[in-house]
Structure 1
Amino acid sequence: MAPSASRKRSFILSEGKRPGTDDPQRTYVIFGMPRGGTTMVAGVAALLGLDIGQDLPRNLEDPAFNLDVQHGTYETKLASIRRTIAWRNTEQLVWGWKFPNAARYLPKLADDIANPHLIIVFRDFPAESYRMHDHKGGSIEDLLGTYIRRLRQIKEVIALYKCPKMFLSYEKCIAEPDHFIDELRAFLGTTPPGPEAHAQIKAFMNPGSYKDLGAFT
């Protein structure tokens, strides 16, 4: 028996408000589990036409939204992010950013983000724990504790933000790249890529090390 369309989906849209791709102003936030595939998703979103920032590092994290590279207290960093959001809103109607740990500050920004659309990326725990161990080390108990803590933070964001949400399985995105690309493009409301651009996006998705996004445009 052929798999149903619902079983093939790499995402689930939240109940309630549907994606507002006809709305003139939209802000996309890409986040999820650390070492969980957010860079791949952000890169595909950018190649599909979403502006996620300029002159980004290979992990595609805009320093303006990255708590780990900013200086000062948490409140100082949060104030800086608010100023950046306000400035970006005046510069562009549709834009976004990627920061895996954005759930750490999103509850504080609910009133600042214009028409938020959330893209939340998950990865199965064994695969993610291998990546986290290679990056920081630690016991399986410590890694599981971090995983659960991140899930709780994400749950808080999901409960607070009554907006369109896209839940992605990294594994299913990689297994069904054509389907993932089509569905993400629909969520973003961008123009479908031509055959050559579509092939370049699939090439960018190939697992491995961080890639230079400019090499695929």
Structure 2
Amino acid sequence: MTYQKNKRVICSEKKMSIKTCEVIIPAQVVDQKTYIVLGVARSGTSMIAGCLRELGIFMGEIVADNHEDPVFFSDDVEILKRIILERNNKYDNWGWKVPKTMFHIENLLPFIRNPHFIIVTRDPFDIANSMMKREAMPFDLAIQHIFMVYKHLQQFVEKCLAPLMFVSYNRVIADKEAFICELTSFIGSENLSKEQLNQLRNFIGGNYRSTSLDKMQLASLAKAKTDQMNLNLINQIQQKSIRVLSRCRDEISTIEKLQEEIATKQLTINYKSLYRWEEGLQRIPELKNLIELLYQKILDKLSYKDITTTEEFRKQCETLLTDIILVRYTGNRLLYELNKKQ
């Protein structure tokens, strides 16, 4: 079955009852493309990245519980430039999804081959609730962060000259078939099989879903309960722990920069976020020590004796990252309040 036939079936069955996507700048008819998924964290960017994976587009190494490409966590443009050029040489069509990419995307544009942007939107109330559940972020801080990100997205869209499509997460959930039709039209997929269509349908959902490739990895992890010394899986989990700890260090650096910037402002007790910020800063030495302690466990090989030990260590690293991110959010909130009153 060809893609065109599948496309007619999808569109005719649903009669395009609602529109899930809006193409601002049409896609290019070229053989090589780079897809960059942008949006607020918890807005559905993982869903889009996962759909692109299902369509055979390389979106970074598979991580069982996240569709972000960890190599793009860095803020160093030179490092990102090298990664982009390496991927260009290795893949005709590839992409990545890391929400904070938006803050330095303009510096990366000269190195991206035929960029195609997909921006995901979602009801801010829903995003904030998701942040509360997944990241323990207070609702008011989440809302503030969401609109700060949307402001940056607005500025990017005003300047963007590359192919650009907006996706409504809420509408996608309401009409999967319309979305599949519109997404495949934008990326120009051909020869879409019934299996691929079913994989897309099964992946799209209200909560995190594993892609068909993820499920293979998860199945291996489940099987590992009877094979605690599966070295391949131990290595995969361990590498994720290392990436998480690396991001912990990056977040600490961001907090220290925030601290320097806030120190230049005039502070009074009237700022609601001041107490939470100062309380968070008091924890920084402890959090930094924890990072180094966990790194030392990796060096001493105390974190990967077997599958269970390695997985528990990974969860410990994830918890530490959540704690550090919460401190950064309080700093972002305080800085926003300070700048607003100046």
TM-score (norm 1): 0.84
Of 16, 23, 41, the residue aligned with 1:34 is: 41
Is the 1:50–1:188 contact (alpha carbons within 8 Å) kept by the matching residues of 2?
no
Is the 1:31–1:99 contact (alpha carbons within 8 Å) kept by the matching residues of 2?
yes
How far apart, CA to CA, are the structure 2 residues paired with 1:82 and 1:10?
A: 33
How far apart, CA to CA, are the structure 1 residues paired with 2:78 and 2:56?
A: 28
Q: Which residue of 2 aligns with 1:70?
A: none
- Quote how far apart the aligned CAs of 1:215 are: 5.3
Q: Which residue of 2 aligns with 1:52?
A: 59
- Quote how far apart the aligned CAs of 1:170 are: 0.5
The one-character-per-residue Cα deviations of 1:56-110 (angstroms, maximum 9, x if unpaired) are 443111111123xxxxxx4xx2211110001111122221111122211212112
Q: Which residue of 2 aligns with 1:62?
A: 69
Structure 2 residue 23 is matched with structure 1 residue 13: yes
Structure with more of its chain in helix, by fraction: 2
Q: Which residue of 2 aligns with 1:71?
A: none
Q: Which residue of 2 aligns with 1:84?
A: 83
CA 1:215–1:147: 2 relative to 1, 3 Å: closer
What does 1:115-130 align with in structure 2 at a 5 Å threshold?
Answer: 115-130=114-129
- Quote how far apart the aligned CAs of 1:152 are: 1.2
CA 1:139–1:60: 2 relative to 1, 3 Å: closer
In structure 2, what residue type is equivalent to 1:12?
E
Q: Which residue of 2 aligns with 1:149?
A: 148
How far apart, CA to CA, are the structure 2 residues paired with 1:198 and 1:4?
A: 17
CA 1:208–1:140: 2 relative to 1, 3 Å: closer
- Quote how far apart the aligned CAs of 1:216 are: 6.3
How far apart, CA to CA, are the structure 2 residues paired with 1:144 and 1:53?
A: 29
In structure 1, what residue type is equivalent to 2:26?
R
Aligned residue pair count: 203
How far apart, CA to CA, are the structure 1 residues paired with 2:159 and 2:182?
A: 24
- Quote how far apart the aligned CAs of 1:4 are: 8.6
How far apart, CA to CA, are the structure 2 residues paired with 1:103 and 1:62?
A: 14
Aligned residue for 1:49, secondary structure, equals coil
How far apart, CA to CA, are the structure 2 residues paired with 1:79 and 1:167?
A: 29
How far apart, CA to CA, are the structure 2 residues paired with 1:57 and 1:82?
A: 26
How far apart, CA to CA, are the structure 1 residues paired with 2:31 and 2:162?
A: 15
CA 1:210–1:177: 2 relative to 1, 3 Å: closer
How far apart, CA to CA, are the structure 2 residues paired with 1:25 and 1:158?
A: 22
- Quote how far apart the aligned CAs of 1:186 are: 1.3
How far apart, CA to CA, are the structure 1 residues paired with 2:87 and 2:175?
A: 33
Q: Which residue of 2 aligns with 1:198?
A: 197
Q: Which residue of 1 aligns with 2:271?
A: none
Query: Radius of gyration: which is bigger?
Result: 2
CA 1:192–1:207: 2 relative to 1, 3 Å: farther
Q: Which residue of 1 aligns with 2:246?
A: none
TM-score (norm 2): 0.55
Percentage of pairs with the same residue: 27
Is the 1:107–1:156 contact (alpha carbons within 8 Å) kept by the matching residues of 2?
no
Structure 2: stretches of 5+ with no match in the other structure: 1-13, 217-342
The one-character-per-residue Cα deviations of 1:88-139 (angstroms, maximum 9, x if unpaired) are 1112222111112221121211211111100011110111110011233344
Is the 1:204–1:216 contact (alpha carbons within 8 Å) kept by the matching residues of 2?
no
Q: Which residue of 2 aligns with 1:101?
A: 100
How far apart, CA to CA, are the structure 1 residues paired with 2:61 and 2:52?
A: 14
How far apart, CA to CA, are the structure 2 residues paired with 1:212 and 1:194?
A: 16
Is the 1:28–1:116 contact (alpha carbons within 8 Å) kept by the matching residues of 2?
yes
How far apart, CA to CA, are the structure 2 residues paired with 1:201 and 1:170?
A: 15
How far apart, CA to CA, are the structure 1 residues paired with 2:131 and 2:183?
A: 26
How far apart, CA to CA, are the structure 1 residues paired with 2:32 and 2:49?
A: 19
Structure with more of its chain in strand, by fraction: 1
Over aligned residues, Cα RMSD in angstroms?
A: 2.2
Q: Which residue of 1 aligns with 2:158?
A: 159
